[in-house]
Structure 1
Amino acid sequence: MSLPFDSGEEYIEQQFSELVVSQEEVTAVTFEECTFTNCNFSETQFKRCIFRDCHFENCDLTLLDVDYSRFQRCKFAECKLIGVNWAKAGRIQWIEFHSCNLSYSTFMELDLSKAVLTNYLAKEATFAETNLTDANCTHTDFLDGRFIHTNLTRADFRGAKNYAIAAAENTLKQTKFSLPEAIALLDGLDIILENPTS
């Protein structure tokens, strides 16, 4: 099939809607202030591409390959981003995910400080050696997700659920949690917790 993007080209303030670019390879393309709506990029490889100030809405990006691509100030709303290895990206700066499905994704060794990850599903997502300083993770479902040596300084987890964050293995400084979900932070500690007698 003929691709809608030419390698090495730059697209500025373009609006793309209903595109189907599945299992294809897009190389060295720059997108600046572009909007993608109802597009299907599942299993597509974006190699050495640049996305700057772009907005994705209701797109299918399942198993997207972001090999050495850069994402700067991009927003994803109601998108499927299942199984994406974001650690392969060249750079991620100030990214936002709103009501997305990020299950089985990997964010290993990334700087996601001030990132917005709200109201989304992150089943079995991996945050290892990740910097989530000042990140907004409110109202997100982290079912079976993994936090390993993650910096959660001033991160906001209010309203989030199903997270398993080992306090001794991650950095928790002024991190915001809400009850009753915050009780999960006691898991793994050598303590005995009892209900008060009536």
Structure 2
Amino acid sequence: MIRYFESEQYLKSLPESTEDTEFDECFFNSVNLNEESFRNSKLIQCQFENCNLSNLSVTNIVLRDVKFSDCKMIGINWSSAQTFSDVIFENCILNLSVFQNLNLSGIVFKNCSIVDVDFSSSKLLRANFSNSKLSGAVFNESNLEGADFRGAIDYFIDSRFTSIRKARFSMPEALVLLKSLEVIID
């Protein structure tokens, strides 16, 4: 049975369970969700600020118009999510997470730490990675067409295995795109 919460505010605490629940227009501030489960739940037009969501279980979760600000979200396997639509991560730590085989078109990762994250085989059309740190991020066989990497640092994208048509990059970081081509620049 699905439980439903609308326009609720959660300050440091939660309802007894977050599984099989729909949260609509809810606000979460400074809530510790470390190792919690949102399995089979829906988050619609929700906001999370200063929350710890590390190691969160997101199996079959639906995210529509959700914003995460200043959240710690380490070690989440987002690949088991059902839907991502209009999701924004701003000033978040998303290290050691997995986003494989997902349609993440239009997703926003602004000013985030996205270290050792796997985006393999994901659709990231028009994704925004601006001003984010991406060391160790994997983009093999992803579609990054129209993505924005301006101000992003420490990324490596092999254009032989990843589509980057019309993606935006800034100098000097953009020079790393030549690394996979094994060219010599004097």
Superposition TM-score tier, normalisation by shorter sequence:
over 0.9
SS in 2 for 1:87: helix
Question: Gapped runs of 5+ residues in structure 2?
Answer: none
Q: Match for 1:85 among 61, 74, 77?
A: 77
The answer to whether residue 25 in structure 2 is matched with residue 33 in structure 1 is yes
The answer to whether residue 1 in structure 2 is matched with residue 14 in structure 1 is no
Inter-CA distance 45–25: structure 2 relative to 1 (3 Å threshold): farther
- Cα distance in 2 for residues equivalent to 1:13 and 1:45: 20
Count of residue pairs the alignment pairs up: 186
Question: What amino acid is the match of 2:6?
Answer: I
Q: What's the Cα RMSD here?
A: 1.4
Question: What amino acid is the match of 1:188?
Answer: S
Contact 1:25/1:47 (CA < 8 Å) preserved in 2? no
Match of 2:61 in 1: 69
Q: Percent identity?
A: 32
Match of 1:4 in 2: none
- Cα distance in 2 for residues equivalent to 1:90 and 1:111: 10
The answer to whether residue 126 in structure 2 is matched with residue 134 in structure 1 is yes
SS in 1 for 2:174: helix
Shift, 1:45, TM fit: 1.4
Q: Match for 1:162 among 154, 162, 166?
A: 154
Shift, 1:90, TM fit: 1.4
Shift, 1:25, TM fit: 5.7
SS in 2 for 1:129: coil
- Cα distance in 1 for residues equivalent to 2:56 and 2:47: 16
Shift, 1:113, TM fit: 0.7
TM-score w.r.t. structure 2 length? 0.96
Q: Match for 1:125 among 87, 98, 117?
A: 117
CA offsets 1:84-112 (integer angstroms, 9 cap, x no match):
00001111111100000000011101111
Question: What amino acid is the match of 2:113?
Answer: L
Shift, 1:11, TM fit: 0.4
CA offsets 1:64-100 (integer angstroms, 9 cap, x no match):
0001111111000000010000001111111100000
Shift, 1:8, TM fit: 2.0
Q: Find the structure with the greater CA-based Rg.
A: 1
- Cα distance in 2 for residues equivalent to 1:134 and 1:57: 24
4+ aligned runs moved over 3 Å, structure 1: none
SS in 1 for 2:139: strand
Question: Gapped runs of 5+ residues in structure 1?
Answer: 1-6
The answer to whether residue 183 in structure 2 is matched with residue 191 in structure 1 is yes
